[in-house]
């Protein structure tokens, strides 16, 4: 239990320290704290240097008056009058015999104007005649001794003066509490907390545009190109916010131009291909016609993959989410694929939540890869299952598998198996990975232990909103 608390504390301390030194708010806070410390330090020494000489003169005058006051008590003859005088000025006087025993606990009390029992050992000195004799003002204490200090009780401190003269010891306690020991720093702490809180609000107000820009960048990463940063004031941060808004507007305009260009290029490329396929369909069925049609399909597939890859590379593309049957998704993928030699082994009815068009392209690309690279006439197999969190689709072929040299990078763009002279750009599996990750899932590619390649697609039951932003 103790180790767990200790580890938690160290983790918290590490994260807090990192925040103070890495964030702008933290660095400004450290700067203000250092500035405050230096200011207090310099103020103390400047103030102390200006008043120290005055304090010394006043201490000497105060010491002289106390010595003369005690000197007037010689013999303690009129104690009634002395008692009345001391009570009127709130002083409790305790007179002890001066003996050779320096132990404060064994001092013998001669007289006091108070009924309280005190312990002489509770007196503490902070300035005495030995220190004041070292000044240049020429006042001599001779054989007399005086010190200024405090009489300390468990929860209270009282100003006091201790004097040795006329073979007696005098302790004069002023009946005014200096401070309570239990709460000596509370006012300072409260003021410090209040000032730090006000400083925090002030800094937060000045640096609010930076926080707004950070939130805007996060929204931009999720695809929000419409929001604007609220501009307040006319300072440099306001100008930066204005320029940031203008930059996002220009990016939005450029993206629209790019999408329009890609749409037009796609139309210009696919329209001739469609006409060529239509003309080929009118020709007599020959082997060469079949090969030409197959090459046109490859070209059409490459155009689709290139355009889709560019679309998915941007965080500003949203998913068109819906719910549909897995069986219908696979049928659609087989229809648009060049590979129709696929067996679905699972008979369970499973619903998929996601972008149907993009997911159909995922499975279409995997089926195409099986056709191109497996070098096997045996049908590929598809098995679907589900657990508490995900739908799991396993696709395998019975070919030669994926070379070990590219097995770990085969889902990266433009990675191809050069041993097979097949047309393409190496974008198919990279697009599959992007689409699945946009759905909050993952794609695992490996070689089956019994031969052939294996593709495992995991899709969550429900796509979270942030995956669609």
What is the mean pLDDT for each group of 10 consecutive residues in the chain (469 residues)? 80 83 76 78 74 75 85 82 91 86 75 89 86 62 84 86 88 81 61 78 79 81 77 78 86 79 73 77 76 74 66 59 91 88 88 89 90 88 91 92 88 74 71 87 91 93 61
Which of residues 262, 292, 316 is at a domain's end? 316
The CATH number given to whatever domain includes residue 339 is 3.30.565.10
In a domain, 409, yes or no: yes
pLDDT the model gives residue 245 = 86
In a domain, 119, yes or no: yes
Separation in Å, CA 180 to CA 172, 188, 190, 192, 468: 20, 14, 16, 19, 62
pLDDT the model gives residue 329 = 92
Same domain, 311 and 363: no
Same domain, 139 and 152: yes
Alpha carbon distance 8, 18 (integer Å):
15
Same domain, 14 and 161: yes
Same domain, 232 and 355: no
- Helix, strand counts (H, E) of the chain: 11, 14
Same domain, 169 and 272: no
Token pair belonging to 125: 């000195």
Token pair belonging to 37: 């410390």
Tell me the backbone φ, ψ of residue 274, rounded to 5 degrees: -65, -40
Alpha carbon distance 318, 324 (integer Å):
18
pLDDT the model gives residue 93 = 93
Alpha carbon distance 365, 338 (integer Å):
9
Tell me the backbone φ, ψ of residue 323, rounded to 5 degrees: -115, 130
Same domain, 171 and 272: no
- How many residues are recorded in the chain? 469
pLDDT the model gives residue 128 = 84
pLDDT the model gives residue 259 = 72
The CATH number given to whatever domain includes residue 254 is 1.10.287.130
pLDDT the model gives residue 453 = 93
In a domain, 25, yes or no: yes
Token pair belonging to 184: 């000596």
Cα angle at 175 between 172 and 177, to 5 degrees? Answer: 120
Same domain, 326 and 308: no
Same domain, 406 and 267: no
Alpha carbon distance 36, 91 (integer Å):
40
In a domain, 209, yes or no: no
In a domain, 415, yes or no: yes
Separation in Å, CA 75 to CA 84, 100, 166, 221, 419: 17, 21, 10, 93, 121
Token pair belonging to 281: 């369909």
Query: In angstroms, how far is the first alpha carbon of the chain from the final one?
Result: 42
Q: Does residue 454 contact residue 445 with C-beta atoms inside 8 Å?
A: yes
pLDDT the model gives residue 424 = 61
Bridging pattern class, strands 321-325 and 351-355 = antiparallel
Same domain, 328 and 342: yes
The three-state secondary structure class of 147 is strand
Token pair belonging to 47: 């103030």
Q: Is 104 exposed, middle or buried (0-12, 13-18, 19+ CB in 10 A)?
A: middle
Which of residues 273, 300, 316 is at a domain's end? 316
pLDDT the model gives residue 181 = 47
Q: Which pairs with CB-CB distance under 8 Å and at least 24 residues apart come from 266-274? A: 266/303, 266/307, 269/303, 270/300, 270/303, 273/299, 273/300, 273/303
**Domains in the chain, number:** 3
Same domain, 254 and 334: no
Same domain, 289 and 418: no
Alpha carbon distance 176, 157 (integer Å):
9
Residue 434: how many other CB atoms lie within 10 Å: 22
Separation in Å, CA 443 to CA 204, 289, 371, 434, 457: 44, 37, 19, 9, 5
In a domain, 327, yes or no: yes
pLDDT the model gives residue 373 = 86
The three-state secondary structure class of 101 is coil
Same domain, 400 and 414: yes
In a domain, 439, yes or no: yes
Q: Does residue 66 contact residue 72 with C-beta atoms inside 8 Å?
A: no
Separation in Å, CA 257 to CA 221, 254, 317, 356: 19, 5, 15, 26
In a domain, 195, yes or no: no
**Continuous segment of H or E residues that includes residue 441:** none
The three-state secondary structure class of 145 is strand
Range of the domain at 348: 318-468
pLDDT the model gives residue 102 = 61
Collect all residues with Cβ–Cβ distance below 8 Å to 96 and sequence separation of at least 6: 107, 108, 109, 110, 120, 168, 169, 170, 171
Which of residues 290, 316, 342 is at a domain's end? 316
């Amino acid at each position: 239990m103790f180790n767990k608390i200790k580890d938690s504390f160290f983790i918290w301390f590490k994260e807090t320290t990192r925040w103070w030194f890495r964030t702008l708010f933290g660095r400004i806070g450290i700067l203000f704290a250092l500035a405050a410390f230096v200011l207090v330090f310099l103020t103390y020494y400047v103030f102390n240097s200006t008043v120290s000489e005055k304090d010394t003169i006043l201490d000497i005058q105060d010491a002289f008056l106390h010595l003369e006051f005690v000197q007037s008590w010689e013999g303690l003859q009129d104690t009634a009058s002395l008692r009345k005088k001391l009570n009127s000025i709130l002083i409790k006087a305790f007179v002890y015999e001066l003996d050779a025993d320096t132990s404060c606990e064994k001092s013998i009390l001669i007289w006091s104007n108070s009924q309280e029992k005190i312990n002489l050992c509770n007196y503490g000195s902070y300035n005495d005649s030995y220190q004041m004799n070292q000044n240049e003002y020429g006042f001599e204490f001779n054989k007399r001794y005086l010190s200024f200090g405090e009489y300390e009780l468990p929860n209270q401190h009282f100003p006091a003066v201790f004097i040795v003269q006329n073979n007696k010891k005098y302790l004069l306690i002023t009946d005014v509490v200096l401070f309570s020991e239990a709460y000596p720093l509370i006012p300072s702490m409260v003021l410090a907390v209040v000032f730090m809180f006000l400083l925090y609000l002030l800094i937060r107000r000045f640096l609010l545009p930076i926080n707004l820009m950070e939130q805007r960048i996060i929204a931009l990463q999720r695809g929000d190109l419409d929001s604007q940063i609220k501009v307040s004031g006319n300072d440099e941060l306001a100008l930066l916010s204005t320029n940031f808004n203008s930059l996002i507007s220009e990016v939005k305009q450029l993206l629209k131009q790019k999408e329009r260009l890609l749409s037009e290029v796609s139309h210009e490329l696919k329209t001739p291909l469609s006409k060529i396929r239509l003309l080929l369909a009118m020709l007599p069925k020959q082997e060469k016609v079949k090969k030409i049609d197959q090459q046109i399909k490859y070209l059409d597939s490459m155009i689709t993959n290139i355009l889709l890859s560019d679309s998915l590379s941007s965080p500003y593309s949203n998913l068109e989410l819906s719910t549909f049957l897995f069986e219908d998704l696979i049928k659609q993928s087989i229809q648009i694929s060049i590979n129709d030699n696929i067996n679905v082994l699972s008979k369970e009815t499973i619903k998929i939540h996601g972008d149907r068009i993009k997911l159909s392209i995922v499975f279409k690309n995997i089926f195409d890869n099986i056709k191109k690279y497996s070098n096997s006439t045996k049908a590929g197999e598809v098995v679907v299952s589900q657990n508490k969190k995900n739908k799991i689709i396993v696709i395998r072929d019975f070919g030669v598998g994926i070379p070990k040299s590219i097995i770990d990078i085969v889902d990266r763009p433009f990675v191809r198996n050069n041993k097979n002279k097949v047309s393409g750009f190496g974008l198919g599996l990279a697009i599959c990975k992007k689409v699945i990750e946009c759905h909050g899932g993952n794609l695992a590619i490996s070689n089956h232990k019994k031969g052939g390649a294996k593709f495992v697609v995991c899709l969550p039951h429900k796509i979270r909103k942030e995956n669609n932003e």
